[in-house]
Chain A
Amino acid sequence: MKAALFIPCYVDALFPEVAIATLELLERLGVEVDYPLDQTCCGQPMANSGCEKDAAATEQLFAKNFAGFDYIVAPSGSCTHHVREHLTAIPQTPAVAKVRRSTYELVEFVHDVLGVREFPWAEFRHTVGLHNGCASLRALRTAKMSEIQEPAFSKPMALLSKVKGIRFAMPERPDECCGFGGTFSVFEEPVSARMGYDKVNDHARAGAQYIVSADMSCLMHQKGCAERLGLPVKFIHIAQILNGTRS
C-alpha cells in the first residue's frame, strides 16, 4: 500500500522526532510512504481564526501536493479534521474532494484502514495518561465521548494496550479540553493556560509519568504548562510509543 505523509507545520519545525516515528511506523507496517517535499500546512490556523480567505492559497498548495494519493496520513487529529470538514476556501473540484476524503489521522489509519493490532517491537514500561485531542475525540470520533450515550470504544487505547509493559493512569476528566485551541492559546491566554494547568495536574494526580496523545499541538501546550509548574510528567506522541520508543 502506498500513502502520502502529511507532516503539519509545527511538527515539522518543532517535533521532527514525531514525524520520524510516524514515517518509520508506517514503513514497519508495510506502507510505502511518499513525502511531498513542497508541503507546508493545511490552512487551519487562518481558517480557525475566521480568515478562510487567507487560508485559500495554502489549501490550494495542500491540494496540489497531495493530489492523486489514495491515502494521506497525518499525525494530527485537528489538521485531519480541517482537511475533511473545513478545507472549503478553494473550489471543490473532484481532485480536491478526493484529497479531502483520502486524508486520515494516524491512529484511525492504523486502526481502521490497516487494521493492525500488534506491535511486537513496542515496549513502554511506564504509566501513561491518554489525552484525546478534541478534534480526534469529537470530530473524527476515535473514542467514546463522555457526553454521548454509546458503547465504550477507544481506537488509541486499542492500539496502546498492545504495547508491552504499558500501564494506564485514569485522570478524573479525561475528555476535558486542554485549552490549546490554536490561536486561542495566545488570544485567550489566561483561560488557555489555566485549562492546561488543570489538565496536567489531573494527569499527574492520577499517577501519569507520561501523557500520550495523537495530537502534538495539545502536547506542546501541556508540556509548556507542566514545565512552568515544575511537574515531573513527560510527553510523548502515540506514534513514538507504537514505533518502539522505550522512554
Chain B
Amino acid sequence: MKRIDHSEASSKFIKAKDHLEFHDKRLWDLRKKRDRESEHLPEWEELRTLASAIKEHTLTHLADYLEEFERNAIANGATVHWARDAAEHNQIVLDILEANGARTLVKAKSMLTDECEMRPFLETRGIEVMETDLGERIQQLDDEPPSHIVVPAVHKLRGDVARVFAEKIGTDPGNSDVHYLAESQRMHTRPYFLRAEAGMTGANFAVAETGTVVVCTNEGNADLSVNLPKLHIASIGVEKVIPKVEHLGVFVRMLSRSALGSPITQLTSHFRAPRPGARMHVILVDNGRVERLGMADFWPSLKCIRCGACMNTCPVYRRSGGLSYGATYSGPIGVIIDPTFNLRKFSLLPFASTLNGSCTSVCPVRINIHEQIYKWRQVIAERNQLPIVKQEAMRAAGKVLASPRLYRAAAEAANAGISTLPRMVMYNPLNAWGRQREVPDAPLLTFRQWYVKFRSPKQ
C-alpha cells in the first residue's frame, strides 16, 4: 500500500497563499482564545492533571465501566449494541434503520462515523444521510472528509462555501455573506429534520453511573436530530465512558475552552432515555481501541476528548491543512493514532512534526503527544517502514558519526569545499535544503581544527 505523502500534499496547500494565511491565522486565533480562557481559571493546570487521572483510571477499569454503562442504559430503556469494528458498526446501524423502516437519517457531527466510513456504506444501501452540522454539511456537499475534528471546513474560505452551496443547494454564487450562507443551509436542512425517520449523534462522554450519553454542540442540530425523529442512534467509541456525573464537570469545563476558547459549548445535552413512544439505540464501538489500550507506549492516546487544541497549536498542521494527512484524524493526535489503523499507509505521518511539544502542553488530558510521535518513529524504523533513502542515510550517518576519524574527514572536507557534512547530517536526494533556503557558508577551519591549532598544547 502506498504511503500518504504529507510533504507533497502540504506543498500544494502552501501554494494557495490566501487559504494558507487564513487557515494559519484562524487556528492561531483559537489557540490565543484558548490561552485567554485557561488563564481565567487559576486551577487550569490542576484540572488538566485531574482530567488525565480520571481518564487513566477509567481506561484501566474500562470493561467494568462499560458494563456499568450498559446496565444503566438498558435500565433507562435504551438498547445497547457492541461493535468490534467499523464493519460491524455500520451493519448494526443499517439493521436498526431497516428494522424501523427508516430511509432518511439526520446526523450530528461524529468523528467515529467518519472513522467507520459509515456514510458511503449507508448511501450505497439506499439510506439518505444528511449531515446537519454546518461544517460537516459543507464537507459532505463538497465530497471531502472533515479537515479538522472540531471545525471540519476550516480550510475553506467563504468564497469556497459560496461555490459549493451554489452548485449543490442553489444559492446565489455571487453572495458569500456568511449569514446568508448559514441561513441558506438552515433552510435547506429544516425539512430533513421534519421528515427523517432516524437521528444520529456521536457522544462526547458516556456516563457509566447514569447510562447517559452527553453531546456538546454549538448549533442545536444534535438536539433537533434526536428530538424530532422517533429513533435516536448514538455511536460511541468505548474510550468515551467516564465513571460518574461529577467527573463530567471537569471535562465540560475544559472541552470548549481547549477547542474554541469559549467557556462552554452552547448546548451540553444529556440523552438518558428515549422519549415516550421513541427508541434509543447505543452502539459501543471498539474498532482498534482495545488493541491500542494494550500498547505500552501508546495507550495514553485513548485519553483524548477530541478538542482539537493540539491541531490548533500545531505549526505544521496550521501550514499543511487536515486533508494533507490523508486520514480521519489529522494533526498531532492523528499522527499518533493513525498508525494503529495502518502502519504502512500512515508511516510518514509521525515525521510530519518538528517534535516541538506545543501539542503536549495544550492537551487538556495531558497526553504526551510529542513523546509518542518520537516513539512511533522508532516503531516505524524497527518494522522497516522507513523510505529506503532515509534508512540508508541514517545508517551511513551512524557509521560516520561513530568514528572520530571518518567524522573529521567529513567535517574538514566540508570546509575545504568538498561538502559532505551537510549531506551527511541532513541527507536528501533532491537538495531540499536549498530549494527555499541559503546553505550556510563553510568556515576556513572547523572548531576542532582551530582548537588543535591555537589551544591544544599536546598537538
Contact = CB atoms under 8 A, between A and B. Distances in A.
A binds B: yes
Contacts of A50: 350, 376-382, 386, 394
Interface in A7-40: 7, 9-17, 19-20, 23, 35, 37-40
A83 interface: no
A112 interface: no
Contact of A195 (B315, B355, B403, B435): B315
B100 interface: no
A223 B438 contact: yes
A179 B315 contact: yes
B395 A195 contact: no
Given A183-B426, A186-B428, A190-B14, A13 B353 contact: no
A189 B435 contact: yes
Main secondary structure of the interface of A (DSSP, over half): helix
A51 interface: yes
Interface residues of A, number: 76
Contact of B315 (A14, A37, A54, A177): A177
A121 B397 CA distance: 40
A134 B357 contact: yes
A149 B398 CA distance: 40
> Which of A46, A181, A189: most chain B Cβ within 10 A?
A189
B447 interface: yes
Contacts of A173: 28
Interface in B167-210: none
Contacts of B14: 190-191, 194
Interface stretch (A57-65, A66-74, A238-246): A57-65
A188 B397 contact: no
Contacts of B315: 176-177, 179, 195
B401 A187 contact: no
Given A37-B452, A134-B355, A228 B436 contact: yes
Interface string B420-459: 0110011110001101111110110111111110011001
A41 B378 contact: no
A185 B435 contact: no
Interface residues of B, number: 82
B436 A183 contact: no
B351 interface: yes
Contacts of A48: 355, 374, 377
Contacts of B313: 147
Interface string A66-88: 00000000000000000000100
Interface stretch (A91-99, A138-146, A155-163, A204-212): A138-146
Interface string B1-43: 0000011001100100000100010001000000100110010
Sorted nearest first, the 8 A-B pairs with minimum C-beta distance are: A181-B354, A224-B437, A54-B398, A50-B377, A57-B402, A50-B381, A147-B361, A19-B447
28 contacts: A10-B425, A13-B421, A23-B451, A35-B451, A35-B455, A35-B456, A38-B404, A43-B401, A45-B426, A52-B378, A53-B382, A61-B403, A134-B354, A138-B357, A138-B358, A149-B44, A181-B356, A182-B426, A184-B351, A187-B390, A188-B7, A189-B435, A190-B11, A191-B316, A191-B320, A193-B436, A227-B438, A228-B436
Given A16-B447, A181-B355, 4 more contacts: A14-B422, A46-B397, A190-B11, A227-B437
Interface of B: 6-7, 10-11, 14, 20, 24, 28, 35, 38-39, 42, 44-45, 313, 315-316, 319-320, 350-358, 360-362, 374, 376-382, 386, 390-391, 394-395, 397-399, 401-404, 407, 411, 414-415, 421-422, 425-428, 432-433, 435-440, 442-443, 445-452, 455-456, 459
Interface of A: 7, 9-17, 19-20, 23, 35, 37-41, 43, 45-46, 48-58, 60-61, 86, 134, 138-139, 145-150, 173, 175-177, 179-198, 220-221, 223-225, 227-228
